[in-house]
Amino acid sequence: MDLKPGSRWKSAVCDAEVVVVRPPKTPAELECGGHPMVAATAAKPEGLSLSADHSAGSQMGKRFADEESGLEVLCVKGGAGSLSINGRAIGAKDAKKLPASD
């Protein structure tokens, strides 16, 4: 899986789609719903179903990051599956606080 900046990936088991903002430091497997994601232009594999352990969902417009690998992705289409990298769940980043403008 070649996670280059700007590359688009879609879930094999739900509607989720992401764009890579920052690639991982080492080769990694990006997953959604418990299964590896596929390139946005590729066909979804047949016969896969959403894993109950990875069904927390991914929300459109949120950035998801993994500090250990350095990966950061932007969810461009939400879905029922949650994102993970090499089987380890990754969470949404918190919004940065803007300074007060007095």
In a domain, 100, yes or no: no
pLDDT digits (tens, 9 = 90+) for 29-81: 999 999 999 999 999 999 899 988 888 999 999 999 999 999 999 999 999 99
- Counting the structural domains of the chain, the total is 1
In a domain, 85, yes or no: yes
This prediction's pTM: 0.86
In 19-30, which positions are buried (b, 16+ CB within 10 angstroms) versus exposed (e)?
Answer: ebeebbeeebeb
Domain span at 77: 8-92
Predicted pLDDT at 97 = 81
In a domain, 65, yes or no: yes
In a domain, 29, yes or no: yes
In a domain, 51, yes or no: yes
In a domain, 101, yes or no: no
In a domain, 48, yes or no: yes
Mean pLDDT computed over 24-32: 94
